[in-house]
Amino acid sequence: MVFSGIVETISPVIRVSNARQQRVLTIRKPKGWKLQDGESVSVEGVCSTVQRFNKDSFQVVYMPETLRKTTLGDLKAGDSVNLERCLTLRSLIGGHLVQGHVDTTARIRDIKSEGEARIYTFEIPARFSRYIVPKGSIAVDGISLTVVGANRSTFRCSLLAYTLAHTTLGKKRVGDRVNIEVDILGKYIERLLEK
């Protein structure tokens, strides 16, 4: 499954429970969403399988590995999450191709206002910095963003007022963790050059 990194909506987590070393999130189903069992949905940038749903909510289940590599283990009832359904052959790609396979987490180091926009500085493990380039794409909590600056331990993105109002990043604070998926193209190129 593939996503575009254009968040469709944010929705609250209704319930968090544990079952057989797995975490079950029950999320309010957005109005107008028609879901199917087994459908893939991006939740905070993580490709998630709909296990069951009703008219008001849907459930997704996460294994320990996913909880270790993402921020999903930090979620509690009442927290909002970014949601996006997977692309179809008729979908417009407004962002970049996002797989929903989170590479790592980053911590927000700084937030500065710049007119109506905000510049976020993210601290990332150095081993991922080679995949992050200025003017390149990156997915932060499932949001397709353009990198405006990068070095070995941090990268910066400028967020428009619209993005701040329509995603969970607008509520994040310095010190909060976010899910990061680097652009898959860089990883493919690296692998090709190894051979």
pLDDT digits (tens, 9 = 90+) for 91-114: 777 777 888 999 999 999 999 999
CA distance to 46, 104, 112, 164, 176, per residue, from 172 (Å):
18, 17, 13, 10, 6
pLDDT for res 17: 95
Query: Whole-prediction pTM value?
Result: 0.93
pLDDT for res 109: 98
Which strand (E) or helix (H) includes residue 165?
helix 161-166
pLDDT for res 96: 79
pLDDT for res 142: 97
CATH number of 9-85: 2.40.30.20
pLDDT for res 141: 98
CA distance to 18, 43, 95, 159, per residue, from 179 (Å):
21, 10, 17, 16
pLDDT for res 75: 96
Which strand (E) or helix (H) includes residue 192?
helix 184-194
Tell which residue, 55, 186, 36, 176, has the closest CA to residue 105: 176
Mark the ranges of the chain whose per-residue pLDDT is less than 50: none
Domain ranges of the chain: 9-85, 104-194
CATH of 104-194, picked from 2.30.30.90, 1.20.1560.10, 3.30.750.24, 2.40.30.20, is: 2.40.30.20
Q: Which residues, at least 6 apart from 80, have a Cβ–Cβ distance to it below 8 Å?
A: 10, 11, 12, 13, 168, 171
pLDDT for res 90: 75
pLDDT for res 21: 87
Q: Do domains 9-85 and 104-194 have the same CATH topology?
A: yes
